[in-house]
Amino acid sequence: MLRARLWRASPFCKRVALDKCPSRGHQRSHSNASTSDVVVHISNSNIHRFGDPTTAAPVFRDVDWIVKDGENWAVIGCGSNQKSALLQTLRGNLRIAPPPPPPGGLFPFLSGLPRDPHAAIALVSFAHRPHSAGGAFYDYTARYGAMREEDRITLKESMFGEHDFLNLRPKGQATANTPEELAAEDVKRLIFEDLTARLGLSSLLDLPLVALSNGQTRRARIVKAILSQPELLLLDEPLTGLDANKRQTLLSVLRSLHEARSPRIIMGLRMHDPVPDWITHLALVHDGKVLTGTKEEILSEQATRETKVNSIRSTISGTSANKAEDDGKPVVVLKNVNVAYGPREVLKSINWIICEGQRWHLQGANGSGKTTLLSLVTGAHPQSYIQRGESHLELFSRPRQRIPTPHLRSLIGVVSPELANAYPRRARTTVWEVIGTGFDGAFVAGGKSGVGTGIGLEGGLADDVRQWRVSRVREVLRGLGPSSWVVDPSDTQQRAGSIELAEADEAFSERAFIDLSSGEQSIVLLMRALVSRPQLVLLDEVWAGMDDGMVRAARRYLRGGGIETDQAVVVVSHWEEEVPWTTEDGLRKFRLEDGVGREV
């Protein structure tokens, strides 16, 4: 069995070390061992969450889904929650009723293999953010400065070193020493070297894990999952956060893995992601239903549905954006700014001025330095203090070192993957309180009415300031709360003038942040970033995890008054169409390439 599994790393074996691979015969005996060419089998079943009473509505009704070996499937969905729920079903995290019958069960192709089906199916999700552990704030700025010992583990060590950070070796298992174990480790190493080269990670192997950029980390997570040699790998939104070139590279690597069945791959895609040309079949998840068929059938079905949604979308994109003021005074000034880690230069002599009222799209490939640049602007990067002489960093008309960090945090509204991961999930913190932390740029709720205490104010907030803050929390809840996620935008527009909160928004404000879906958490963090009407708003991967209704509501809100004409905004996204403003609205673009930045 071990040798059979090793063979299934065939594309690598063929490319790099034929002599180390077991013979082809083993592949045949492996395929003969399984009794079916059906990979997934769900027939006329409902799918429920575990623990839901039988009376509760199922997550999906009347599901018929058969995936045959050799077919190339993707799951697409209007909201990331339902799409992810279908993938989670394949991981055994939801209950299928009636369950697929033995002997094949849910995965007939596994029935002849002496392998725990649970271990044979791996899921890597980029749609959902990991919850930060407990209530503490995880200091994500560690990557920029002095590192803790556990943060020094390199990408390579994490896979093969004593740390085994990525858990490649089952706990308690000693280092390999039998010939078979050594051969298995060898093949793993070959897979690792081949994949890291193809995914552009080779030059990063000696970097600490925390130093990797988002896109680099995502590719490393996929390598890790493949090294665990699953039979079926589920990748939920693997393209999110990758630049256009890396998306193509990843897709072609995934295709070759899938065709060699090492492993088979099913992808989850967002509704607006382009469907890769090698995908032959789609499962479309919508309104508690799973529609399955060939790509052509499902896309034509979807085109009919889209006609309605598109007419709504055009209403939204047709809404003219709040016209920004002519450029106001500078909010951020970078002159000849540099960032280097030893000999590794990440930013080289950056010149960029961001003024009040401007809308910027910050562009650049994975690892080009976007997050690093924004960390200078937020003052989180230690090297923001040392830009002196020729190099100069001025924030809100003052040199960085003259603004205390807590004050700076209160002046900038930030949404970013790092912040979302680090934001504490305390058991009893409500949505209202999380939004309220935005006024002081804090991470712990506080103050009367849950709207903060004010920076450096000994006696707390004056009554009129507190009232203004309360009314602002209500305003963002009205603009971005659940009642705005409905399809018809006219309802929200009508309510915009009202001071009352809709019942749904009121109830939402009282919910515990920790209990929200990742998309709901994302939109709450957007409310937190906007609530104080900060002079500068940084929106880095702002749509992560949000479903279509939330994305539409947020775009509508940002374009139609949620951002004032004198506020400056920087959007970071690898997808041009995700930016809420266009060049017609005055959008400008700043591009980083190999550490060098310029307006394009």
Ligand X SMILES: Nc1ncnc2c1ncn2[C@@H]1O[C@H](COP(=O)(O)OP(=O)(O)OP(=O)(O)O)[C@@H](O)[C@H]1O
Question: Under the criterion CB under 6 A, does residue 481 sit at the interface with ligand X?
Answer: no
Residue 516: Cβ within 10 Å count: 17
Question: Under the criterion CB under 6 A, does residue 597 sit at the interface with ligand X?
Answer: no
Question: Under the criterion CB under 6 A, does residue 361 sit at the interface with ligand X?
Answer: no
27 vs 217, which CB is nearer to ligand X? Answer: 217
Closest CA to 187 of 11, 408, 395, 47: 11
Q: What are 131's two structure tokens?
A: 């919850």
SS3 of residue 128 by DSSP: coil
The backbone torsions φ and ψ at residue 318, rounded to the nearest 5 degrees and listed phi first, read -70, -20
User: Least Å distance between CB 367 and ligand X?
Assistant: 3
Binding mask 299-338 vs ligand X (x if CB under 6 A, - otherwise)? ----------------------------------------
User: Least Å distance between CB 361 and ligand X?
Assistant: 13
> What residues numbered 132-151 form the site for ligand X, per CB under 6 A?
143
Separation between Cα atoms, residue 35 and residue 541, nearest integer Å:
44
Type and span of the H or E element at 183: helix 179-198
Which one of 40, 87, 209, 212 is in contact with ligand X (CB under 6 A)?
212
User: Least Å distance between CB 472 and ligand X?
Assistant: 30
Question: Under the criterion CB under 6 A, does residue 346 sit at the interface with ligand X?
Answer: yes
Site size for ligand X (CB under 6 A): 20
Which one of 370, 409, 425, 466 is in contact with ligand X (CB under 6 A)?
370
266 vs 346, which CB is nearer to ligand X? Answer: 346
Residue with tokens 């400065």: 145
User: Least Å distance between CB 234 and ligand X?
Assistant: 22
Separation between Cα atoms, residue 77 and residue 547, nearest integer Å:
9
Separation between Cα atoms, residue 82 and residue 135, nearest integer Å:
28
Question: Under the criterion CB under 6 A, does residue 215 sit at the interface with ligand X?
Answer: yes
355 vs 373, which CB is nearer to ligand X? Answer: 373
254, 235 Cβ separation under 8 angstroms: yes
414 vs 527, which CB is nearer to ligand X? Answer: 414
Strands 344-355 and 330-341: antiparallel
User: Least Å distance between CB 354 and ligand X?
Assistant: 17
Question: Under the criterion CB under 6 A, does residue 364 sit at the interface with ligand X?
Answer: yes
SS3 of residue 349 by DSSP: strand
3-class DSSP string for 381-413: CHHHCCCCCCCEEEECCEEHHHCCHHHHHHHEE
Which one of 366, 383, 532, 535 is in contact with ligand X (CB under 6 A)?
366
Question: Under the criterion CB under 6 A, does residue 369 sit at the interface with ligand X?
Answer: yes
Q: Strand locations in 144-288, DSSP E?
A: 232-236, 264-270, 281-286
* Contact residues for 398 (Cβ-Cβ < 8 A; gap 6+): none
483, 502 Cβ separation under 8 angstroms: yes
Question: Under the criterion CB under 6 A, does residue 341 sit at the interface with ligand X?
Answer: yes
> What residues numbered 168-207 form the site for ligand X, per CB under 6 A?
204, 207
65 vs 543, which CB is nearer to ligand X? Answer: 543
Question: Under the criterion CB under 6 A, does residue 371 sit at the interface with ligand X?
Answer: yes
Separation between Cα atoms, residue 60 and residue 285, nearest integer Å:
9
Separation between Cα atoms, residue 439 and residue 435, nearest integer Å:
8
Question: Under the criterion CB under 6 A, does residue 344 sit at the interface with ligand X?
Answer: yes
Which one of 211, 431, 524, 542 is in contact with ligand X (CB under 6 A)?
211
Which one of 214, 322, 387, 573 is in contact with ligand X (CB under 6 A)?
214
* Burial class of 376 by CB neighbour count within 10 A (0 to 12, 13 to 18, 19+): buried
Q: Residues interacting with ligand X, by CB under 6 A?
A: 143, 204, 207, 211-216, 341, 344, 346, 364, 366-372
